[in-house]
Each structure stands twice: as C-alpha cells, then as structure tokens.
Amino acid sequence: MTLQELYTLIGGDYEQATKIMRRDRLIDRYIRKLSSSQVGESLAAAGEKLDATGMFESAHAMKGVCANLGLVTLSEAASELAEEFRPGTARKYTDEQVREKLSAIAALYQRTIDGIRQYEQG
C-alpha cells in the first residue's frame, strides 16, 4: 500500500500532508508514530471521567498532530472538542453530547489506526 492509498483508505488529505511535511519520508515516519502514540487513549480516559483539563489537552494534541498529517476530519472533530473544554470558555454541549462526540472521535481514530496498521504491514 502506498501513502496515497493509505490516505484514501482513512479519509485523509494527502496533498495537505505533503504541503506541511514536504516529503513522503517524513509523512511515513510520523503517520507510523500515530499508531503507537497514546493520544487516542488519553482522550478516551479523560472522557470517561469528563475531565475538562484532560480532554482539552488530549483533544488539542490530537488536533495538532492530525492537522499536520492531513487527517482533516479527525483534526476538526478533535478541535471542536478542544474548544468545548478550552479554559475560560463556557460549555455549549451537554455531557451526553460530549460523550457522543467522544464516541465519534474514537471511531474515526480507530479507523485511522487500523488503516495505518494495514499500511505498516505492506
């Protein structure tokens, strides 16, 4: 599987990733690191407790990493959650809506990780 095929599979924006990273070698290196990072697990753990600080920090980290890798949908979903829990910002979602958003992010993240693992296998 090529990087372009991976991006098609996981719904990423390969062109955006190449604009930021400039080289397939760098995209390859960092996309592989995502599958071993704990960013998804950290967000899920914070979400279970509705830990506002933990959710902000984890969602913000996920947003940045995913944006740099051209994982636009996942980055935007994480950004929305990060803004919900940004310190000093009034919440606009109920706890149930937050749980729904966390569930959607978890599904997107898992789809991405599954695709990366397929890519890593060749």
Residue 78 CB burial class (10 angstroms; 0-12, 13-18, ≥19): buried
Side chain identity, residue 106: A
CA dihedral angle for residue 95, residue 101, residue 107, residue 109, rounded to 10 degrees: -110
Domains of the chain: 3-120 (1.20.120)
pLDDT confidence of residue 35: 82
pTM of the entire structure? 0.90
pLDDT tens-digit profile of 60-119? 999 999 999 999 999 999 999 999 999 999 999 999 999 999 999 999 999 999 999 999
DSSP H or E run through 35: helix 24-36
pLDDT confidence of residue 48: 94
pLDDT tens-digit profile of 30-43? 999 998 888 999 99
Categorize the per-residue pLDDT at 12 as very low, low, confident or very high, splitting at 50, 70 and 90. Answer: very high
Q: Find the radius of gyration of the CA atoms of the chain.
A: 15
